[in-house]
Amino acid sequence: MAANPEDPSGGVIRADNTRLAQELDNYAEVIHDAAKADYAEHNMSIREAFRIHKKAVFWSILLSAALIMEGYDVVVIASFYEQPAFLKRFGVVNPATGLKVIPAPWQSGLGNGSSAGGIIGLLINGWASERFGPRRTYIISMLGMIISIFGPVFSQSLAALTASEIICGLFWGVFQTLTTAYASEVCPIVLRGYLTAYINMCWGIGILLSSGVVRATLTINSDWGWRLPFVIQWVWPIPLIIGAYFAPESPWWLVRQGRHEDAERSVARLTNPEYFSKEDAKRSVANMIHTTAIEREIQDGTSYLQCFTGIDLRRTEIAMMVFAMQLLSGENLIGQGVQFFVQAGLGTIAAYDINIALNSMFIIGTVASWFLLYRFGRRTLYIGGLVLMGAVLLIIGALGFSNSDGAKWASGGLLVFLNFAYNATLGAVCYVIIAEVGSTRLRAKTIVLARCAYQLMNIICGIIVPRMLSPTAWNWGPKSGLFWFGSAALSATYCWFRVPETMGRSYGELDILFENKIPAWRFSRTKVDQFGLPDAVPHSDEKISHDSKQE
């Protein structure tokens, strides 16, 4: 697009939307409706947003409950490594102690099995959710989940159990990203952070449930001691299938399919007609049409390859790194909490009791993140969380050199605090960032690739962390904190230079910020005018219009 160097607006280059005018039918009407919807959304209070969009909040919360199921399913296997009934069936005698243990290689296999299956499921979801829509993909995956649960319930060997975890992982991979994309597409800007961060709480609820169920079955000496927690997985799918059947389709997906009238009907189902008229729904869809047109004009294509070209490469890189750094922060020690406590010298019962307190931090920390998010923003909270976790990990590592009971309990208590710090900061904020940083046309695939990066890192951590903690391998115990302190420090450095502030931005504004290659540390104070209209509303100090480049 040509720019006008004589523009009198303080040296700002304004947009020339000629190509958009050629692409969009009724361009003048669409852009004015889009600008009105954008202005209304930017100036909406939390109370107003909830009053208008309470149906969207309900559907987002309901479908996100799939991650309660997944959080339970994925983590429950790691809780079995010190459970007597599980060790009786699957354990191998440790020659040094005469006690049964799950060897570190098999721990890696069990943990990585679901991750490997998850990567395949993720890639399938990136294609299927865009081809068939989020709702149908969700329902079909739930049906597959019902069948796959038979595997772990009736496994009789570690090999069979590992294969079952791989198959279950195929379907878990779908829910990991589909729910995040849906939450980000049905809610307004001011609620987006709450509902995407809530996904982290869903994980936490599932993890807490798994730790409670495993604790309750410790006294069952038969195979039902480990089978019963697997059987409980059948509780989730049917209610969630029913909920997904009645849920509205994502209006953004409908717009990308060219089904604009269906998108308006979907928006109407997601909003309160007392406060949000049919004309408001039309304007909201016009904003989606405008944003989608902007993205096609900037860079067309919706394939996985497109995620690694042009300006989308930067967006994909940020999403992948942000998700991978959930593990690079030292969070993986939390997932091995029971084994960490046992290796620190606590008894089995005490270790499981503290593990319940540890996992409750997923819920408490996420609630805390809701208050912190809108006080500090995404970028500051994510970096601050890495710094805080690094400091705690350093102390845990130092305590590993002491054999006193006080040091053992202190390291256990610090691991609980570490989980609170994680979930109050980067654990919850991660889902917000990955939901916002990708373009709308590539959102599902960007989130899929981000989660793939997490799963690949999870496989690596699934290999080294059991060896760090296992008495038959490296046997580092709490000293492992020193390694993860260094990892967290490097991650914080990366984030300072690469992770932008996305709070309060519409998807169209983010498209333009990335198009103009704004540095991460300048996102929050850069003004964006995506419409180029005289009545456009300013948002910050520097002004950039669509398809313009800074001089």
395-424 tens-digit pLDDT: 988 887 877 777 777 877 788 888 899 999
Could you identify the residue written with the tokens 């499981």?
A: 352
Residue 382 reports pLDDT greater than 90: yes
Residue 250 reports pLDDT greater than 90: yes
Query: Number of helices and strands (H, E) in the chain?
Result: 24, 4
Specify the higher pLDDT residue, 13 or 506: 506
Q: What is the DSSP letter of 299?
A: S
Other Cβ atoms less than 10 A from the Cβ of 248: the count is 20
Percent of the chain clearing pLDDT 90 (strictly above): 35
* Amino acid in position 6: E
Provide the pLDDT confidence category of residue 17 given band limits of 50, 70 and 90: low
Angle separating helix axes 189-216 and 27-42, nearest 10 degrees: 60
pLDDT for position 322: 95
Closest CA to 518 of 314, 374, 299: 314
pLDDT for position 466: 74
Average pLDDT for 64-70:
86
Average pLDDT for 121-126:
87
Residue 479 reports pLDDT greater than 50: yes
Provide the pLDDT confidence category of residue 70 given band limits of 50, 70 and 90: confident
Average pLDDT for 134-144:
94
* Most confident residue range from 178-182, 341-345, 473-477: 178-182
Whole-model pTM?
A: 0.82
The string of pLDDT tens digits covering residues 77-88 is 777 777 788 888
Q: What is the DSSP letter of 12?
A: P
pLDDT for position 534: 56
Specify the higher pLDDT residue, 337 or 226: 226
Q: 458: which 2 tokens?
A: 């999870």
Average pLDDT for 531-543:
51
Q: Report the alpha-carbon angle 34-35-37, nearest 5.
A: 65
pLDDT for position 414: 83
pLDDT for position 340: 62
Residue 386 reports pLDDT greater than 90: yes
Q: Which segments of 400-442 does DSSP mark as H helices, in order?
A: 405-424, 426-437
